[in-house]
Structure 1
């Protein structure tokens, strides 16, 4: 008879349902079958949500989980230091087993904080075995994941064959783990190579994601979106990561093409990529999405990303004499339903809507950091944190309950992660106490 989530405050992120101060959600065969103030479901297993906020699981549209064992190491790095350190020094030392443990650690961390759907942008794919390890790790996690194969980040050569091989390993588009292609893009390679990468992805039925940002005063790499647009490489299956410094007409090109934008507010600020473009993207007619990006630089939870996105945009609006362009409800939508749409998953997740798969998060509303809840979306944006996440469901399965992940041997995973970190750090010749940066 399914599971009845009973008696919580429902934040559906579905305008047809709205918020319910007290409501029930019935889950049958992994899908939401009913949402109402009262649902009668004799025989259903009851999941008591009294004193909790019930909301759709968060959707992170861009994260490099393979870096999770070096959490905090990049807290003082700029983007100019990140590339040489992470990709020039550390990444070449990763073995496939290091990719697996880092990806698994990062994906479970995200799930622990309520991120039920995550696009894992894996650019530690120096050998086929590295890509295989990343995909295997995502399959070992009970979360909903998009394996975004970082196509040839370490080479300028053709990647169509390896992309096709990985697609053979991840052929379906309706399971918990699906696939996308991470492009090198016109700022890392030629526009001809970018066009070839897009063509390979399209032939395989894959959505694409590409990093693009222009730092203030840059004399090279300008107008990457214009270059892609002129070559017909933008459409509604394209996600641009970051987008800092793009010209207004480039944002208009993205809007016209139906493309999406993934904003990483904490990393963009800390690494000096520029102001997060949340407001400009929204003004251009695009619903932004949010991402953590990488945990060596920023915290791995969407609460922090949402709070930074809202606070920074409010500050920018005030500084420019504009009325507020965002509400807490807007940002909650960026992190849920808008993210799901950007990943091509809007029909199955992102809101508490009958017919969608039951990706749900239950937050403790009696915790003193949140209590008393007066404006639910506002409370989540202003005071939400991972410690509030009591229960998480993915496709109707309970994967976290009572504050603990279900069926996960965290002690064994921690030991593997520490061994991986120690080996790579020793090989790189770097201390882990922050006393000396890698490069």
Structure 2
């Protein structure tokens, strides 16, 4: 089939995992892109005027979507490998956060977003809760806008404090619309922090401003049931973690069209309990996946999928490998309200696409592409990344990104914060939660 296009890009000769139910997988296929959008997906496309990206020995699939990450903590990557949740909260919120400047937020946010992009995460919801003031918020937004990626700035204004936040939400909303690569959501504090009446008022404002919301929740005190009984459940809210909530509460979320973000590595390591992946599916709720915090866990979606897969298979033998890719692409895109733009290789959607090497010895030979992605994939096989049709990574390296000065900025930021907070950087820090 010949498609006459002046310009554009043709990804040709790859193994396609489209995540589009009508297109399915193609053992050999082409993807035609024009003006940032996918124009055609087929076994063979002739487009004489297009730039060619040779996808031989590559899997071509939609980019991953991480719908919950606290990107401001990037500078302290790996320091919390042994921390419990209480230690993490003491370390990040009570010890180092008060010393963050806007420059610190900018450096951490930018490098963290580039790291995720490098690993094939084309869309990220950055759940911001530094909550130090407008200058810090603006620095985070500027960093996301500098990264050549699709991001959702999820503003957790006044997080975990009872202070009113409406003016702050309105201020940021006035500067972020729904058309750009960086959009906005609201990170709600929840009834435990502010009371059910405040939560209701903030959800009404979110509706007024057209904002999706995200909310950390969990425990056996039935937080979802409380929202259900007061009519506060919505299809525009993503509930994060949820460990400890009842099966009937999961059904309430499913009935409301709400979403669930599972962060399997953090939940298992920090003692939250078993991830809700299988229980959510049994309740009719499509789970999604997220990284959460890189001081404690890795920042790529491959390891996140693998942990969720292994944990659920160990519990009941459930889940198939393809389920995990669903959770990390189209399901997560839907939770962000972006499924009409990204999450599958569907004509008409933005071309957010990754090419994965199949000739790398860590995955070779690739007999089942989906199984190989989930069981053996890692950031090192991410060869090429496109966001809205723009090639932002090629031959394993980010395009037009000078990492050296950014690395230096982040190290200087980490060292300054640690010195101000009295935090050792030799691996001996053992944050002591307040008793």
TM-score, with structure 1 as normaliser = 0.96
- 1:401 paired residue among 394, 403, 410: 394
1:433 maps to: 426
User: Alignment partner of 1:187: what SS?
Assistant: helix
What SS does structure 1 have at the residue aligned with 2:72? helix
Instruction: Give the match's secondary structure for 1:179.
Output: strand
Counterpart CA distance in 2 for 1:437 and 1:4 is 52
How far, CA to CA, are the matches of 1:343 and 1:135 in structure 2? 17
- Structure 1 segment 17-28 matched on structure 2, within 5 A: 17-28=23-34
Structure 1 residue 432, shift from structure 2 partner? 1.2
The answer on 1:111 being equivalent to 2:117 is yes
Cα distance in 1 for residues equivalent to 2:307 and 2:10: 34
In the other structure, the counterpart of 1:320 is none
Is it true that 1:378 corresponds to 2:377 in the alignment?
no
Alignment match, 1:49: 55
- Partner residue of 2:196? 191
- Contact 2:160 2:189 (C-alpha < 8 Å) held by counterparts: no
Secondary structure of 1:169's aligned partner: coil
What is the CA distance between 1:151 and its match in structure 2? 2.5
Equivalent residue, structure 2, for 1:72: 78
Query: Which residue pairs with 2:3 in the alignment?
Result: none
Q: Which residue of 2 aligns with 1:358?
A: 351
In 2, are the aligned partners of 1:264 and 1:276 still within 8 Å (CA)?
yes
SS at match of 2:39: strand
1:154 is displaced (CA, Å) by: 5.0
Give the equivalent residue in structure 1 for 2:259: 260
| 1:245 aligned residue | 244
State the alpha-carbon separation in 1 of the partners of residues 20 and 56 from structure 2: 21
Q: Deviations for 1:154-195, whole angstroms, at most 9, x for unmatched residues?
A: 52111111000010121x112111000000002222111211
Q: 1:229 offset after TM fit, Å?
A: 1.5
CA deviation map 1:273-304 (0-9, x unaligned)? 11000000111111110000010010000000
State whether structure 2 residue 349 is matched by structure 1 residue 344: no
Offset, 1:325: 2.4
1:84-233 map, 5 Å:
84-170=90-176, 172-214=177-219, 222-233=221-232
- Please tell me whether the aligned partners of residues 57 and 116 of structure 1 are also in contact (alpha carbons under 8 angstroms): yes
Matching residue of 1:416: 409
Secondary structure of residue in 1 paired with 2:346: coil
Contact 1:187/1:212, CA 8 A, preserved across alignment: no
Residue equivalent to 2:284: 285
Backbone CA RMSD of aligned residues: 0.9
Q: In structure 2, how many angstroms separate the alpha carbons of the residues matched to 1:247 and 1:188?
A: 21
Q: Contact 1:369 / 1:383 at 8 angstroms: preserved in 2? A: yes
The 8 Å contact of residues 213 and 242 in structure 1, kept in 2 or not, is answered as: yes
Structure 2: runs of 5 or more not aligned: 1-6
Does the Cα contact within 8 Å between 2:239 and 2:258 map onto a contact in 1?
Answer: yes
Distance 1:125 1:48 in 2: 45
Distance in 2, matches of 1:427 and 1:154, equals 23
In 2, the alpha carbon distance for the partners of 1:406 and 1:425 equals: 32
SS in structure 2 opposite 1:351?
A: coil
Q: What is the aligned residue count?
A: 426
Cα deviation 1:287-323 (Å, max 9, x = unaligned) = 1100000100100000000000000000010xxxxxx
The 5 Å alignment of 1:294-305 reads 294-305=293-304
Residues in 2 aligned to 1:188 and 1:378: alpha-carbon distance in whole angstroms: 42
Q: For residues 436 and 118 of structure 1, what CA distance do their matches in structure 2 show?
A: 30
Structure 1: 4+ residue segments shifted above 6 A = none
Secondary structure at the counterpart of residue 193 of structure 2: coil
Mapping of 1:6-17 within 5 angstroms? 6-17=12-23
Residue number in structure 1 paired with 2:4: none
More displaced stretch, 344-353 vs 145-154: 145-154
